[in-house]
Structure 1
Amino acid sequence: MDILNAYDLTGSYRAAAQLCGCSHHTVKRAVDDRAAGLAPAVRRARLIDDFLPHIEGWVQDTNGKIRADKAHEKLVTLGYSGTERTTRRAVAEVKASWRLGNTRVHRPWITEPGLWLQYDFGDGPVVDGRKVVLLVAWLAWCRYRVVIALRDRTAPSVFAGLDRAFRIIGGAPTYVLTDNEKTVTTGHIAGVPVRNRDAVSFSRYYGTTVLTCEPADPATKGGVENAVKLAKADIVPTDTNLLEAYDSFAQVVAACEQFMVEVNDREHRTTGRRPVEMLAAERMRLHPIPQLPHTAGLGVTRQVPKNTPIIAFEHCQYSVPATLLGQSVWVRHHPTTDEVIVCALDAGGPVEVARHARATRGTPAIDDAHFPGHQPKTPGDYRIRARTAEEQAFLAIGEGAGLWLKEAASVGTERMREKMRHAVSLAALHGAADVDWALGNAAVHGRFATGDLDSVLAAKGLDQTRHHASETTSLAQGTKGWNMLGTNTIDENEATEEETR
């Protein structure tokens, strides 16, 4: 009768079977028998019915995690002679009944605008052999997502990332919710989290309260967990999204910015509105943040010289981008990786501008990218710069002229200016290209004496004072006459007459 009552209540075989703990085929058979006017069938006793209290105890003790095969092994030792298939069905029924009374019921979280911001971290792409950290922030009411690329998860980097997130959304919320990381919570005493003093200083500076969720309970901040999963799927290269690897950290930053534009400009399926539109309304409920960011954890300050982008830290020198000349920067030492990190301020808040391996005294850490347009100077490698009209005319011949000038000067050639003027005259007569070739060859072979340039030009066939006749128009005798040398050219009849005489 319970089966029939459950079916009349739900109108579904499967729903009635779940309520009664039997098969939906049993429900159908009972309903068909009642429709045919037959008496309800009496449920047959099963071999496992006597062992159900044991199964219920095991399910209760293991919080519904016991496996059916392990339960069957225990039942066999207790004298059960049924099949493992029956045991699996019985364990499934008991687990279903246990879950009805122990399932965690989730109630939708309805938040007010301007109250909550959640943030979490995700593993980003690998750049230069190091994995980038993705800081993902999620504004609960408007569902606006912020993704910021960080080089590490230390407290200064995290606080700098949060400052940039506040400036992106246009203010700070009342509460900030995150995990129990060491940057926020140093430990728990009787279930009460002990806050990190740096996190307390940060929250007071921005007028917000940093809270942490329950340990091992991601459901308390499921919104940002989903945002992290979505950001990793669109930014991190995998075998499924076919994204190419990033060559620099700046490309990762650009990808994060592009992701924020795309994800916040499309309609959210829960609210039916675009997050960028809802952010404009929620921004009115956010409180303003200080003009200068919280820099207490960024390290010590240093002033960059006005002409040399190098700072000193712990008696060592480190380079910074040339765009920071004359500005203040913050320097700190990363104890885990033994690196020196330099941060600066821009319109979006603090940002890491340089990272060097720890240097030693007398050996500065230099990054060539911090010196754009720099040309290294080598002693003895002089830069050729024409100062007079004669020098300009000579160097205008070509690269060979510059090579000749360097090589001739290095060996102390005499009367160089007269020879340079002669080369200019030859260039006007024979052409700059041929004279440039001759100057280059003269420099390579060390021929800097008077007349050497004319000799080199003559070797190329450019001496106009000499005339060369071709083989077809030559008036000189050939060697054909030498072919008769050693042969008798007198006729035999003439020889007989001579003998008769």
Structure 2
Amino acid sequence: MEGKLVLYLEIHQLAKRNLTVSQIAKQFKISRTTVYKYLEMSFEEALHQFEECKTRKKKLDVHLDWIVAWLEEYPHLSAAQIKDWLLEKFPNLEIGDSTVRLYVQEVREKYQIEKTTQIRQYEAVQQQPMGKQMQVDWGETKQKTVSKREIKLYFIAFVLAHSRHKYMEWQVRPFTTRDAIRCHEKAFHFYGGMPNEIVYDQDHLLSVSENAGDLILTTDFQSYVKERNFRVHLCRKADPESKGMIENVVKFIKGNFADSRVFKDIDDWNERALQWLKRTGNHNVHYTTKKRPAEVLLLEKQHLQPVSSLLSIESMNESSISRNVMKDNTVRFESNRYSVPIGTYKAKGNNQVFIEITGSNDRQLIIRNSKNGEVIAKHAVSKEKGILIKNRNHGRDRSKGIEALKNGLLSAFENEEAAKVYIEKVLEKYPRYRRDHLEIFRLVSINDSTWLDKALEKCIQENIYSANDFKDVVHYLKKQSQQEPLFSIAGESRPINKADIPVETRPLSTYTSILGGDVS
């Protein structure tokens, strides 16, 4: 208490001599915040507060000796490191970050332990020749989504050492070695060639271990390096002399592109990442080179090694790349949208398809419903950006009018006259969605034709007029037939109450979101 009171008095004396807050803080080796706090106190307030501090016990007082000893031996230690050391020595200790930070600050002031900064000596690195080296690293961020939730994203970043030209790709899951290989290929395509050497840290995706300088790579990556024939250099993690360029790129991506950006979906995110690279990442003048990376790349590109369009490792092993079908029944590839047949997108369920690229000069995009499944679409890969490539056969067959669809549907019912009246009432109730309702009726007639007339009878009886509700009644009747008989013990038919039928209430917009179309 006496020591703090003396400090209080000396601070006020120096302030009267017109010393600045910074000068006072430096003289007493305390923070400027503490100087401000003492200057704002009256003498009576200081006496009261110091008296309270003298009698009040603090949670970390029992560990004071340890903390003082650590700080005296290692003055550069941060409060976070002190907390980590405390938890290592006392595993059951429960303490907050701010509590440790304030306590360490008080200990430094009380025992006059000034925090020192460890200065690491660096050696200037010569500018890399054009086309010689690329550096690669991985990173991750947490982003807010459009639905106000939080999602973890993962990215791989590339930078050419001479031009400082950057590339990145993002995923919603951690990277595998196969993902890394695929992204390397996309980076080479992005740059228009490949360097002689690629620098990595000792990442588990690529390197199993270092054995006296002999690299042992994962099997997939070893095959990839052998076929592409570039030199691999592994360095220690967080080693700025070996791979400081890419570490700065990772920080730049996190702090500039990803910071406060709202996530919609991964395809949109990757497209915006490419736009950011063009607009900012590779356009702004680099701090060290004083040049724009995009302009220097035009020269460095001439020194990169040309690469073939397709690797044998890709054609033999997992050459397919998964993509999600968008609501407009398209698949994104290289900043363009490619159509798939109408109805491929499902409002609920799996919308994953697999794409392959064939050919070298005239590349073809092949889209399959599973990795080795049926081909659902083929397109010539466009060299343009931001356009829709659509096969006219992938739209609705508009050659069939409403009447043709309706007449074709009626033949599925035994009681065609009752079906005609029922369907007419449904179409009158939903005039804007006639084609969508007819399509639902058509699918039910194909998948569950046995139950059409029974469902028709029940819907008319219960005054239910909707294709979706009709489908629910069919499913209910089908389920009931599998679970229990439709007749009572007395042999009389057991009636089905309307309340028993789980008819889901849907907004009108659901119909267009399911079938992706409007009425013609």
**Considering the TM-score relative to the shorter chain, is it more than 0.5?**
no
TM-score tier, shorter chain, comes to: 0.3 to 0.5
Please say which structure displays the higher CA radius of gyration.
Answer: 1
**Structure-1-length-normalised TM-score:** 0.44
